[in-house]
Structure 1
């Protein structure tokens, strides 16, 4: 699970602040003295990231995909959060031995949310799994175990702990306009983009060539990053999402 050690209270927000939906896990969890139950949950770093950037955060647990268009119609922006590996059947492959168990309910729900957001022009920010889902939605594929390709495990050296590495945005892209020429990011992933989806542009790379960001063409705000910006104190991406959501309103 992603955790943010720099938890801070939200900044003050204006009346009518944009409503940003954030997708959640669907998993078993333990809390309190004895509760051990199926749960829809989200690391607090995600809603705090939205709140500190001027938005109002609402959690979007897996639901009937047929409801996605209605849900998106009530939102001003969407964050596709990190989490479990996508089902490789979505891009025509068998599971790698190191692939995690798929959560089909979440996959179907988030693909429907993304499709509805793109159709309705609602700004989207994909984080880690969320970026991978954007690629698969566009017909792309994933490297199911990145160390097989790059020959090291620096993107995810220790389960449950973020590490850092350098990312360089591609000049002339939205990603480059929002971020410095090079930045150290919080990373925790063992999968990555293989074949880029139709119409997408790779807009940042790690030093080993791994695709670290992608975006859709045109003026819409639809951007995915492989790293975890919510785990650091840099609000650039969430602030850009909130601005795009506010301008759409």
Structure 2
């Protein structure tokens, strides 16, 4: 059974004075259905400690999950420690030839990591919409993000594979490495699960 690392969102529970790492339980079900074991990853900000931790886990691949805005947005939903850990994680995966899938925030993180940028958007929050793929077909996806990637914002190392009608890039792939980003949520099975599962299979199985 392949072991797939899953990054976690940070939730602040003020009444307990806690910052909690959290993960949608649906990810476990999705990966188990593909005969993979999901491994929740701790948000470790220190690079040396993060690399030692990741080396012990013997992962076969990584999914950067959704939740939290990136810190540069200065959003109250941001989590500095998560940004730091995911940056280290991407570098660890590159050095160890591990595949990465970035989902929603995860795709944003990949784009910023490779030198791209983001723009705010109000048309992609809690909606379903069409994504036009570069092969001429289209798919229906869910959408829960208020930051998006315009064509000029995409990192030079990434290739666009699908866009919404307003031009926001919803699907991309690294030009050389086994790294893919999607802006929709395949773990929310009542939406567009087929292509999401296909992408997971292509990357990890």
TM category, shorter: 0.7 to 0.9
Unaligned 5+ segments in structure 1 are 1-16, 89-94, 148-152, 157-161
Q: How many Å apart are 1:235 and its aligned residue?
A: 4.6
Corresponding residue for residue 146 of structure 1? 121
Q: How many Å apart are 1:245 and its aligned residue?
A: 3.1
> Of residues 53, 78, 82 in structure 2, which corresponds to 1:102?
78
Indicate the larger mover: 229-238 or 203-212: 229-238
Unaligned 5+ segments in structure 2 are none
Corresponding residue for residue 183 of structure 2? 226
Q: How big is each residue's C-alpha offset from its partner over 1:200-239, in whole Å with a ceiling of 9 and x where there is no partner?
A: 1111100111110111013x42100011121125254345
User: Structure 1 pair 40/29, CA: closer, same or farther in 2 (3 Å)?
Assistant: same
For normalisation by structure 1, the TM-score amounts to 0.72
> Of residues 186, 190, 204 in structure 1, which corresponds to 2:142?
186
CA distance in 2, matches of 1:118, 1:244: 14
Q: CA RMSD in A?
A: 2.4
Q: Higher strand fraction: Structure 1 or Structure 2? A: 2
Instruction: Say if 2:100 and 2:203, in contact at 8 Å, map to a contact too.
Output: no
Superposed, 1:2-41 pairs within 5 Å as 17-29=1-13, 37-41=18-22
Indicate the larger mover: 42-51 or 55-64: 42-51
Aligned positions, number = 198
Corresponding residue for residue 85 of structure 1? 69
CA distance in 2, matches of 1:62, 1:238: 25
Find out whether 1:134 has 2:116 as its counterpart.
no
Q: How big is each residue's C-alpha offset from its partner over 1:31-56, in whole Å with a ceiling of 9 and x where there is no partner?
A: xxx97843211111222222222210
Corresponding residue for residue 245 of structure 1? 204
Q: Name the structure, 1 or 2, with higher relative contact order (CA <8 Å, separation 6+).
A: 1
- Please state whether the residue corresponding to 2:187 is helix, strand or coil: helix
Task: Say which one has the larger Rg.
Answer: 1
For normalisation by structure 2, the TM-score amounts to 0.86
User: Structure 1 pair 204/72, CA: closer, same or farther in 2 (3 Å)?
Assistant: farther
